[in-house]
Amino acid sequence: MTTGRASLHGKASLQIDPVRSDDQGWYECRVLMLEQQYDTFHNGSWVHLTVNAPPSFTATPPQYVEAKEGGSTQLSCSAQGNPKPIISWLREGEELATNAKYSIHDGSVTILGITRDDRGAYTCRAYSDQGEVLHTTRLLVQGPPYIVSPPENVTVNISQNALFTCQAEAYPGNLTYTWFWEEDNVYFKNDLKLRVRILIDGTLIIFRVKPEDAGKYTCSPSNSLGISPSASAYLTVQYPARVINMPPVIYVPRKLPGVIRCPVDANPPVTSVKWEKDGYPLRVEKYPGWSLMQDGSIRVAEATEDSLGTYTCVPYNALGTMGMSPPATLVLKDPPYFNVRPGGEYRQEAGRELTIPCAASGDPDIPSITWRKVGKPSKSKHNILPSGSLQFLSLSKEDHGEWECVATNVVTSITASTRILVIGMKICTWLSTSSNI
């Protein structure tokens, strides 16, 4: 006799083929004699069928699960089998245990305080002595980008192209990259915006680099979540030596030391400067008291009528030169001189008013007058009157010390010194020299 998967085998055996988990249970065998009464309670034989089955999942989390940074999420799975399988959770091959980061209970793992470091694969393992099954879920953490490959410093020669790379990761991955030169968006910088391109992978290309392009470049990726990170690198531009802002007139003080400057800009630094005077090569050593300074400027020990003329300079560095400077005419001017000098020393009580005179003249312009404190600058309030005098409306201890009156015109600056002693200050008597506190 056969009924589905169950059939009699031989005279009195029961055969189930194939066996399923739900076949497990108690089975009764009865021998029935025709035309004979039998005892319902004592005429049978009971046997229990135990069906061993390997684990199989009855519920699993999705293949991908999204969670936000700072939040939490739960991954749950359940399994069946005989014996009942044990469920554990693994990450990168390591079994997870309940701690401050993970809470594991009844086949579920709760991930707490999610950060971007929690992203990745989580594996549910159901196992028994009949085998094991695995299910992997990948956690995607929503948050701002993270720069995995920041830009590096770049050095190029003038007119070459410069390239900065910047690679970021994020979920969602709808990344946009913004680049800044110093504090300005590169697309908002007039001379730069037409020569830059930002590629979809975040790479910044600067075409036909100019010396003015040198500086700090900052990459900032964004996916509209949280605060965008940033990373910076520096562009160094090398170029031949050049003259910038050569004045049409060079003023030198008459019968005083002076300097004939060649205003140079170069990277790498200037190695030499060649001069011409009135169209002819200038041999500095032929002029008594003249010498070339380290930056290529000419130091004149005493400027006389022999110094008059038109000067041009050509600077050089390891990359060469960008050419000759515009001509500059040297003009002798009398230096400023003091009409009124401040006295050698002034004593006044703290909180009182003090005025120190100083006045200067010059040809043809009246020199400008400034005052400065020697050493530590004074933070107190003081005024410079139109006459050039220094005025304190309320003298303080910070004003104690040496001061200089500086008269400046287009040729040079001269100084006159004085000392202010503020009375009423505490003096440290244990010092070997007088000191103000």
Query: Which tens digit of pLDDT belongs to each residue from 352-373?
Result: 999 999 999 987 678 999 999 9
- The C-alpha atoms of residue 347 and residue 354 are separated, in whole angstroms, by 9
Radius of gyration of the chain (CA): 46
Question: Measured between alpha carbons, how far is residue 257 from residues 304, 319, 334 in Å?
Answer: 10, 33, 12
Average pLDDT, the chain: 90
Q: Report helix, strand or coil for 191.
A: helix
What is the arithmetic mean of pLDDT over 401-409? Answer: 95
pLDDT for 374? 93
Query: Tokens representing 329?
Result: 């005419």
Question: Measured between alpha carbons, how far is residue 342 from residues 93, 338, 399 in Å?
Answer: 85, 10, 16
pLDDT for 30? 78
pLDDT for 362? 85
The partner residues of 287 in beta bridges, in order of sequence, read none
State the DSSP code for 376.
S
Report whether 3 contacts 10 (CB < 8 A): no
- The C-alpha atoms of residue 219 and residue 147 are separated, in whole angstroms, by 9
11 confidence band (pLDDT: 50, 70, 90): confident
Residue of 302 and 176 predicted with greater confidence: 176
Residue partners of 53: CB distance under 8 A and separation at least 6: 21, 80, 81, 82, 130
Give 225-258 pLDDT, tens digit per residue: 989 999 999 999 999 999 999 999 999 988 888 8
pLDDT for 45? 82
Total count of residues recorded for the chain? 437
pLDDT for 42? 60
What is the arithmetic mean of pLDDT over 156-161? Answer: 98
Give 71-80 pLDDT, tens digit per residue: 999 999 999 9
pLDDT for 357? 97
Which one-letter amino acid corresponds to residue 425? M
Report whether 390 contacts 351 (CB < 8 A): no
Report whether 162 contacts 152 (CB < 8 A): no
pTM to 2 decimal places: 0.67
What is the arithmetic mean of pLDDT over 277-296? Answer: 92
Query: Tokens representing 208?
Result: 């036909």
Q: Are strands 309-316 and 383-384 parallel, antiparallel or unpaired?
A: unpaired
Measured at the CA of 345, the angle between CA 344 and CA 350, to 5 degrees, comes to 155
pLDDT for 9? 78
Report whether 330 contacts 377 (CB < 8 A): no
Q: Report helix, strand or coil for 140.
A: strand
What is the arithmetic mean of pLDDT over 118-125? Answer: 95
130 confidence band (pLDDT: 50, 70, 90): very high
- The C-alpha atoms of residue 404 and residue 84 are separated, in whole angstroms, by 95
- The C-alpha atoms of residue 236 and residue 224 are separated, in whole angstroms, by 32
Give 22-50 pLDDT, tens digit per residue: 888 888 887 776 666 666 556 678 888 88
Residue partners of 272: CB distance under 8 A and separation at least 6: 296, 315, 316
pLDDT for 39? 60
**Domains in the chain, please, with CATH?**
2-51 (no CATH), 55-143 (2.60.40.10), 150-240 (2.60.40.10), 253-333 (2.60.40.10), 337-423 (2.60.40.10)
pLDDT for 430? 34
196 confidence band (pLDDT: 50, 70, 90): very high
- The C-alpha atoms of residue 96 and residue 108 are separated, in whole angstroms, by 11
Residue 431 above 70 pLDDT? no
**φ, ψ for residue 212 (rounded to 5)?**
-70, -10
pLDDT for 41? 58
What is the arithmetic mean of pLDDT over 285-304? Answer: 90
DSSP 274-312: EEEETTEE--GGGSTTEEE-TTSPEEESSB-GGG-EEEE
DSSP run (H or E) holding 190? helix 190-193
Residue 110 above 60 pLDDT? yes
What is the arithmetic mean of pLDDT over 341-349? Answer: 95
Report whether 170 contacts 223 (CB < 8 A): yes
| Percentage above 90 pLDDT, the chain | 71
**φ, ψ for residue 397 (rounded to 5)?**
-65, -25
pLDDT for 33? 67
Report whether 267 contacts 281 (CB < 8 A): no
- The C-alpha atoms of residue 307 and residue 353 are separated, in whole angstroms, by 48
DSSP 218-265: EEEEE-SSSPPP-EEEEEEEEEEEEE----SEEEEEBTS-EEE---EE
pLDDT for 436? 35
**φ, ψ for residue 187 (rounded to 5)?**
-80, -5
- The C-alpha atoms of residue 179 and residue 168 are separated, in whole angstroms, by 13
